[in-house]
Amino acid sequence: MNLVDEFNMATKQIVRNLKFDCDCYVSTFEVNIRVLGYPDFLFSGLIAGHLSAVEFKKINKKLAWYKDELLKLAIDLGNILHKAFNTETGIPYRLINPSNGSPFFFDETNCVACGGTFVLEFGALTILTGNTSYIKKAIEAMDFIWLSRQPNTDLVGSMIHIYSGQWINFRSSIGSESDSYFEYLLKGYAQFSSYQMLDRFSTHYEAIFKHLKYNHGFYDINLNKLNSSYSYTLDSLRAFFPGIQVMYGDVDEAVIYHNIFHHLVKKHVFLPETLSFDYKIVNADYKQRPEFIESTYYIYLATQDPYYYDIATETIDNVEIFLRTPCGYASVENLTTFKLGDRMETFLVSELFKYLYLMLEPSLPFDLSKYIFSTEAHIMPKSNGSFSKPGRKSLGNLFKSNDITYKSPEGPDADATAEYIKINYLINNLWKQYLRVSSEFLERKSAILRSSPLFNNYLLLKFTNLAKNQSSTFVGSIAQFGPYISPSNILVNVSVSISDPLDGCNEISGHPTKLNGVLVILRGRCSFIVKVKNAQNAGARAVVIVDDQAIAPYSVPSMVHMSGDGVMNESEIKIPSVFVHPLQGSVLASLINQNASIDIFDTYTCSLVYE
């Protein structure tokens, strides 16, 4: 809009008045997408505002005073949000106190979108500062969500426990609580040229079409009951999906899906908040959500069809006719009566008006091709752009990979194992190596080792009941003795059983088919290394040791790093071992104890995922 005077005034107001000293709990997710990318001054904000200020400074002397003040505020806020990520899974706490950076420890769950929507904003901070700790935190959270996907569908749930890694809500959807996770995988590829992110998005996209697609759109399903829909309503947030389809290149499907929402808009003037799957109103609110116009914008860019231009002009007319008030634009409490509410959402200006303006005004004060839009439509720098920190290689190089192949492991499941495993080495330790299994292998519903990009001293243990299509993922610490598992000796379809005796301090007994797998042993009475040696003598291939110390309610469990006892020679240990806290151990025990028969044990597999 080239409103440089107004932008200059708003920027000065932010620099003078914005403080992060509120002694209150705020949403980590919302603060990231709205404040780190967009405070309530005009349409620009901390990161996007900084980028805009730098651009305007080139063409207008009124911004000559600007010396990265918004970026400094963004760094301060990024450092506060950074503290929310100190969890075992890397997925952040849902709430944080900005005055001291303390998370709300009483809430240990978070949604997939809330935990997986940081890579653009944190990536921008890394691009602008050269500090890779920001992007690393965002990537760790996305990686854990990816590794927690259901192996036989490649779908994710909607709510996850940030310490145990267990799915709390098994609803799989493209709508609320999941939407921006998919969006940031694809936009993360665009921002960093990360083919790993593109590959992950492609995997999810194929799974969505295979398991969620129906004639008129996309169902929500329960990951535990794949043949039945999870809910019978759909939210307006999923109107973002046609825009993602356009960015992915699937324009034909985007046009079809977008047309459904346009018919609803023509019928109701605006898109209702919630609908049934036969498109009848369930919740008649209109909260000024921008997703439908966002998708309209991307389809218009791709097709240049005037049909979509007309949608934009119709929307502007309807906003003026139905929403305009003396002091702004109101939301609608009920689209059947058009009773207005006493609320104006920030994303009305930051997203809805912005996309409408971009469709109707082709000339802009600076080139948008250097940027990518965040989920709140804020401009974020690409890693190969002019905003990369001077003297440092473009972050795009961090995601370039070399292909190395390994032959499949031998064993009873070798026929179901991928012939080759792809490892991408990513420089500067931003992402560690990862192992990706071929689609043919996943279709066989088997289990495979993947190298985790998450932790230096931790493993992910994924226990899967293939018979019931259930899986649980745990985080554990690697013992300081014994071998690391390498790509040449990965464990596939290994049975899991509980040690007898439970503490593993004496000779371990049991059926040979049980012992030739992973043994779960309780901490206590003897050293860690003695337990692992007894399990090794019994024929176990790996050991999981569960902490015996009770966890106080709402406390944060600490992870123990197992070491030798100074007596036994550590070189005698030939099998790997990992330590998990009691909460994870109780879940694991309940899984195994669902049926004590050996046949059920044989269907449990332990995929040790490690770095």
Domain ranges of the chain: 1-218+372-397, 232-362, 454-551+561-602
Q: Is 375 annotated as a binding residue?
A: yes
What would the two tokens of residue 514 be? Answer: 């049980």
What would the two tokens of residue 521 be? Answer: 């042993």
What would the two tokens of residue 553 be? Answer: 């309610």
Residue 397: pLDDT band with limits 50, 70, 90: very low
Q: What is the mean pLDDT of residues 579-594?
A: 60
Query: CA-CA-CA-CA torsion for 229, 232, 237, 242, nearest 10 degrees?
Result: 60
pLDDT at 310 over 50: yes
What would the two tokens of residue 600 be? Answer: 């059920």
Cα–Cα distance measured from residue 230 to residue 218, given in angstroms and rounded to the nearest whole number: 11
Looking at per-residue confidence, does 116 or 359 come out higher?
A: 116
- Percent of the chain at pLDDT above 90? 44
Angle at Cα 378 formed by Cα 260 and Cα 68, nearest 5°?
A: 180
Q: What is the pLDDT of residue 464?
A: 58
Overall CATH class of domain 1-218+372-397? mainly alpha
Cα–Cα distance measured from residue 360 to residue 134, given in angstroms and rounded to the nearest whole number: 36
For the chain, helix (H) and strand (E) counts, in that order, are: 20, 30
What would the two tokens of residue 456 be? Answer: 């230096």
Residue 511: pLDDT band with limits 50, 70, 90: low
| Amino acid identity at 178 | S
CB of 604 closer than 8 Å to CB of 469: no
Looking at per-residue confidence, does 390 or 596 come out higher?
A: 390
Residue 284 sits at φ, ψ, to 5 deg, of -90, 10
- Residues in contact with 73: Cβ distance below 8 Å, sequence separation at least 6, in sequence order: 14, 15, 18, 46
Residues catalogued as catalytic: 30, 179, 273, 291
The model scores a pTM over 0.85: no
Number of Cβ within 10 Å of residue 278's Cβ equals 7
Tell me the CA distances in angstroms from 55 to 120, 184, 368, one per residue in order: 19, 25, 11
At 169, which helix (H) or strand (E)? Answer: strand 167-169
Q: What is the pLDDT of residue 603?
A: 25
Q: What is the pLDDT of residue 341?
A: 92
Number of Cβ within 10 Å of residue 251's Cβ equals 16
Q: What is the pLDDT of residue 118?
A: 95
Cα–Cα distance measured from residue 574 to residue 555, given in angstroms and rounded to the nearest whole number: 35
Looking at per-residue confidence, does 491 or 316 come out higher?
A: 316
Cα–Cα distance measured from residue 172 to residue 404, given in angstroms and rounded to the nearest whole number: 33
pLDDT tens-place string over residues 9-46 = 999 999 999 999 999 999 999 999 989 974 333 345 69
pLDDT tens-place string over residues 542-572 = 888 888 765 444 334 455 778 888 899 999 9
At 112, which helix (H) or strand (E)? Answer: helix 112-115
pLDDT at 125 over 60: yes
Angle at Cα 509 formed by Cα 508 and Cα 515, nearest 5°?
A: 85
Looking at per-residue confidence, does 584 or 67 come out higher?
A: 67
The domain 454-551+561-602 having CATH identifier 3.30.365.10: the answer here is no
Q: What residues pair up with 274 in beta bridges, in sequence order?
A: 235, 283
Report the range of poorest mean pLDDT among 186-190, 581-585, 588-592, 598-602.
598-602
Give the three-class secondary structure for 477: strand
Q: What residues pair up with 102 in beta bridges, in sequence order?
A: 97
Q: What is the pLDDT of residue 102?
A: 92
Q: What is the pLDDT of residue 604?
A: 30
Number of Cβ within 10 Å of residue 407's Cβ equals 12
What secondary structure does DSSP assign to 266-324, as a single string?
A: HHHSS--SEEETT--EEE--B----HHHHHHHHHHHHH--HHHHHHHHHHHHHIIIIIE
Average pLDDT, the chain: 76
What would the two tokens of residue 156 be? Answer: 């994710």
Q: What is the pLDDT of residue 51?
A: 86
Give the residue carrying structure tokens 């004060």. 365
